[in-house]
Homo-oligomer: A and B are copies of this chain.
Amino acid sequence: MSQKISGGVFRSDLKLADGRTISYYDGAEIKRSAVDTRDEKAQPGIGHLRLDPLVNEWISVASHRQHRVFLPPKNLCPLCASKGDKLTEIPDSDYEVVVFGNKSPALTAPSSNWQLPQINGIDTPNADAAGACEVVCYTSNHDSSFAKLTEKQIRTVLEAWKDRDAALSRLNYIEYVFPFENRGEEVGVTISHPHGQIYAYSFVPPRVEKMLQAADAHLKKTGKVLLDDVIAREIKDKKRIICQNTEWIAYVPYAARYPFEIHIAPKRSVPALQDLDQSQSEQFAAVAKESLSRLDGVFGIEMAYIAAWYQAPVNIGRDSMRLHWQIVSVRRQPGKLKYLSGSESAMGAFIMDLEPEQSAEQLKAVKY
């Protein structure tokens, strides 16, 4: 039933009552067979994509999600393991890392003849919102966090990301795979159980499209990979580096947008998560754990953040776009948030009140 993937991790695929797949990722071979005994039915409905002709961007309209089941009471966290008659999204009584489809996904598997329409201004037709939305539970321990995971646990999360990146990339309607974590009520998170998500889009998202333009232009002009040159500058400047080991480097970027922003990248750059080799995969956890711990340490409170994996799209830019992880926090000071208001939100023009070098100093000063 279980299958050995890389990094000594085993994957077991089972079905939830409503037909969704749940994958358990374990650091050793464990027989997984727990049955989902809830009386759940598949939630039908797919959203649709509409083109915003003012900027030629796809908007996913997911009004079918309005009818989604509300969160159960707090004593029954849906991401904890099932215990006795407390039945959660995870049928087994314990787990290491699990991945399963979101119950009310904004993006879902389309019919087999689905195709993204050609963009043609206001004459662009709508399309079914093809894609995938998955939940990644980092640990069964409700009160933990990514930073508090052991390096071994982080390795298992990484192998789950790599495995899902590869699997989703093989679907013919997927153009971009995006693992991310929203953490903290300040960014709208309503379930505090440590977890992330994976959105897989049937189009290249606007932000990635723009990155790709810059990366392609740089490759064409210099013959070099843009992120390699960006990292070379960080290494040369030194002062914004938060931590590093042989394979990975974490730094506050030269032109950070948020008061606390850390980018984490492999020094030998790769297009996507699935391309990380054994040595890179082994060394990720140490740098990830230290970076996120420093973030929590700045104000001594759990920092709200968005942690976003950027990588090459599935079918284009594999030669120019490179994998890296951007973690941004909206907290400026213990009692103060940075709000994305007029300039940032409507113009895309960011104002930073803190020098990136000052921010790096504060992160480096945290005892770790």
Q: Write the residues of chain A forming the contact surface with B, with a CB cutoff of 8 angstroms.
A: 50-63, 65-66, 106, 121-122, 176, 178, 180-182, 187-189, 197, 199, 201, 205-208, 210-211, 213-215, 218, 221-222, 226-227, 229-230, 233, 253-257, 306, 308, 310, 326, 328, 337-343, 345-356, 358
Contact = CB atoms under 8 A, between A and B. Distances in A.
A55 B351 contact: no
A56 B342 contact: no
Contact of A60 (B207, B326, B350): B350
A349 B213 CA distance: 17
Given A50-B255, A181-B342, A341-B182, A349 B62 contact: no
A226 B53 contact: yes
11 contacts: A54-B215, A54-B227, A60-B350, A106-B351, A176-B347, A187-B339, A188-B338, A188-B339, A199-B347, A205-B347, A326-B346
A113 B347 CA distance: 26
Given A211-B54, A214-B56, A253-B52, A308 B342 contact: yes
Contact of A178 (B181, B342, B351): B342
B214 A55 contact: yes
B355 A63 contact: yes
A239 to B, nearest CB: 14
A310 B54 CA distance: 11
Given A197-B342, A207-B346, A306-B345, A352 B214 contact: no
Contacts of A308: 342, 346-347
Contacts of A208: 347
A145 to B, nearest CB: 17
* SS of A interface (majority): mixed
A118 B85 CA distance: 65
A210 B60 contact: no
Nearest to A210: B55
Contact of A306 (B187, B233, B346): B346
A182 B328 CA distance: 22
B63 A354 contact: yes
Nearest to A104: B353
A355 B337 CA distance: 30
Contact of A58 (B178, B349, B355): B349
A180 B343 CA distance: 9
Contacts of A65: 353
